[in-house]
Amino acid sequence: MNLDDLTRTSGEWLRGTGSESDIVMCSRIRLARNLATYPFTNRASRGDKAEIEREVRTAIARVDPQLHYLDVHVLNPLDRQFLVERQLISRELMTAEGPRGVAIGPEENVSIMVNEEDHLRLQVMHSGLSLHEVWERINQLDDALEESLDFAFHSQLGYLTACPTNVGTGIRVGVMLHLPALVQSREIEKVFRALHKINLAVRGLYGEGTQAFGDFYQISNQQTLGKSEAETIRTINDIIPQVIEYERRARKELLENRRQNLHDQVSRAYGVLKTAHQISSEETMHLLSSVRMGINLGLIDDLEIPTVNELFIHTQPAHLQKIQGRHLEVDDRNVARAQYLRSRLANGRHQAN
């Protein structure tokens, strides 16, 4: 797999297809698994890690030859960051030490990290609200791997994991939502409080502790013990339509009561993205968020959602540097980002207004 080729494509999860895709960017499930015969990664020696990697890698190749394995420890820092930006590896795997890797499936729907916090972190992502589809896929993958790998499993506790918060099912079920109207109407905090009360976590685009850039929020479970996978998925599946409904109502209100302001904001955001000659990642995501909502509300008609989704990722630092083919400091990235945005957005049909 040539990582440079990926700069010209984007994962299926950015396609903007699937159910409720105006608000739901993607659905994602990950499973934490460990091999029974080795210490957890944080206790494993370099030798252990190499053996774990070898075993897992062999199992992955047997399960699905389409899964392409990358030795993350031999990748340069830029390529590692590039994989983080694409949501294919975690920041933790990026900065870890020793033998580790990731197996990536076609269209980037599947990724399996090796020697992250747990020996295996399976991840399946799909565009739109599609948790059942995602679950079927990851469950199949998990079963297939279990045929040749001996996962640490306790008859009462379930799957054992490095961190006690993952013990049990080892599952994290997450849905990434675009909630610009709730942010603008300042109702988002109310939604967060309601979600926290029922033990759900809210995170930004790049996982735990990251800021919710571009008004993207990932809602996921926190509990893995004493609750089946099906129950966990049901909890999330039950709550998401309510959040979607809140966002739709907030958008409707904005359209009804502040249409002119909204149209102005959306149109200016698009205008700045098309004309800036230097722009930070933060401002880019902020403006893209307005533009994304504008397209969904029919206020912009010469741009497609998949393009905007892709721009959120392709304007990240490592992506920009790989697209340009060279190392860039912050200032130069801001210039390159603006240039990239202008060239991508100039192709849109011109708006009649």
Give the SS3 label for residue 277. Answer: coil
The answer to the question of residue 82 lying near a second copy (CB under 8 A) is: no
Instruction: Specify burial of residue 234 (Cβ count, 10 A radius: 0-12, 13-18, 19+).
Output: middle
Helix or strand run (H / E) with residue 176: strand 171-178
The minimum distance between CB 296 and a second copy, in angstroms, equals: 17
Choice from 235, 267, 280, 324 touching a second copy (CB under 8 A): 267
Q: Is the Cβ–Cβ distance between 90 and 118 less than 8 Å?
A: no
Q: Which is nearer to a second copy, 156 or 353 (CB)?
A: 353
Going by their DSSP bridges, the two strands 200-203 and 101-104 should be labelled as unpaired
Burial 85-112 (b: 16+ CB within 10 A, else e): bbbbbbebbbebebbbbbbbbeebbbbb
The owner of tokens 């190749």 is: 61
What phi, psi does 47 have (nearest 5°)?
-65, -45
Size of the site for a second copy (CB under 8 A): 24
Tokens, residue 204: 């930004």
Question: Binders of a second copy among 296-335, rule CB under 8 A?
Answer: 331, 335
Instruction: Specify burial of residue 171 (Cβ count, 10 A radius: 0-12, 13-18, 19+).
Output: buried
Q: Is the Cβ–Cβ distance between 71 and 56 less than 8 Å?
A: no
Choice from 274, 286, 306, 317 touching a second copy (CB under 8 A): 274
The answer to the question of residue 257 lying near a second copy (CB under 8 A) is: no
Q: Which is nearer to a second copy, 115 or 290 (CB)?
A: 290
Please, where are the H alpha helices in the chain?
3-6, 46-63, 77-85, 91-95, 131-148, 180-184, 188-197, 229-275, 281-296, 305-314, 317-324, 330-345
The minimum distance between CB 252 and a second copy, in angstroms, equals: 19
The answer to the question of residue 353 lying near a second copy (CB under 8 A) is: yes
Site track for a second copy across 183-222, x = CB under 8 A:
----------------------------------------
Q: Which is nearer to a second copy, 255 or 335 (CB)?
A: 335
Tokens, residue 79: 């390529």
Choice from 278, 306, 323, 348 touching a second copy (CB under 8 A): 278
The answer to the question of residue 349 lying near a second copy (CB under 8 A) is: no
Choice from 150, 208, 264, 301 touching a second copy (CB under 8 A): 264
Radius of gyration for the chain, computed over Cα atoms and rounded to the nearest angstrom: 21
Q: Cα(321)–Cα(79) distance, rounded to whole angstroms?
A: 10
Choice from 261, 301, 326, 327 touching a second copy (CB under 8 A): 261
Q: Which is nearer to a second copy, 188 or 276 (CB)?
A: 276
Choice from 144, 272, 323, 328 touching a second copy (CB under 8 A): 272
Residue span binding a second copy (CB under 8 A) among the ranges 70-78, 91-99, 209-217, 336-344? 336-344
The minimum distance between CB 341 and a second copy, in angstroms, equals: 11
Q: Which is nearer to a second copy, 161 or 307 (CB)?
A: 307
Q: Where on the chain is the footprint of a second copy (CB under 8 A)? A: 260-261, 263-264, 267-268, 270-272, 274-279, 331, 335, 338-339, 342-343, 346, 350, 353
